[in-house]
Amino acid sequence: MYEAKYPEVGMAVMIQVHHITETGAYVSLLEYNNMKGIILLSELFLRRRRRIRSISSLIKVGHLVPAIVLRVDKEKGYIDLSKKTVSEEDVQACEERYNKSKLVHSIMRHVAKIHSIDLEELYTTIGWPLYRKYGHAYKAFKLIATDPDSILNFLTKEVKEAGPDGEEVTKVVAAVTEEVKDTLVKNIWRRMMPQPVKIRANIEIRCYQFDGVLHIQKALRKAESFGNEDCPVKIKLVTAPLYVLTTQTLDKNKGISVLTNAIKACSEEIEKYKGKLVIKEAARVVS
């Protein structure tokens, strides 16, 4: 995922446990091409007063957890790690970075597959330059979604070709073709941009007074007035007296709040005319 082949000592990295012995846990570093590492028993957890009967009671095979890098053996390609020194801040920062890197990696891998490009080559020309310039490619990808040209047009690469005299010359060209750019932007939009959710509530509303239908219509219009451009409230008659209220919004909590308040206002309005509103299903996300 990263240009650096090895993590730095003291860095928190995301690991997956593969094998457990009496001496420790053998793991792979998910952000560093599944490089092998080990967490010795003494580095699993801080000392406890009670005796530990089994390592498996402390850490499970298959678990994804952050660990601190203690030593890096570049000759053997092996990493010593510690679990006991990981703080809550380390966990939060590591998980956030890993989730962002995993999403970037998934998008890069898809683009490489679509255009039959070597994944490392794609990282060399696009991914790692964006990491260097923006701190993390995730941040650059968010900017690409709104203005791809300003982010991607500065990327270049060197290619070798035959010159007029037959000698090989190096030429600097754009690193991203229009085809690759189009695929990249589409995948970023599909994977990273927030999608609106649909929220729905079901109510029954009755009014047996004179002009009861008009009172119900007035109460429903009151509910609709609680919607706005970002979170419109729509009401549909299923079969009297059952109505469905829906909205679509990027903010789930806001959408639920708007529908809840709309139902409350509708109920208060119909009660003025001795009518009654019953909530059959409270506001909930349906898609």
Please indicate, yes or no, whether residues 207 and 255 belong to a single structural domain of this protein. Answer: yes
Is 111 domain-assigned?
yes
What's the whole-number mean pLDDT along residues 123-136? 89
Please indicate, yes or no, whether residues 184 and 231 belong to a single structural domain of this protein. Answer: no
Confidence of residue 49 (pLDDT cuts 50, 70, 90): very low
Write down the pLDDT at residue 159.
72
* Residue at a domain's end among 192, 215, 238: 192
- pLDDT of 46 strictly over 60: no
How do residues 224-253 score in pLDDT, each as one tens digit? Answer: 999 888 899 999 999 989 999 999 988 889
* Residue at a domain's end among 65, 84, 103: 84
* Average of per-residue pLDDT values in the chain: 86
Task: Give the C-alpha separation, 138 to 140, whole Å.
Answer: 5
Find tokens 């406890």 and name the residue: 48
- Give the 3-state secondary structure of residue 42: helix
Is 170 domain-assigned?
yes
- Domain extent, residue 72, equals 12-84
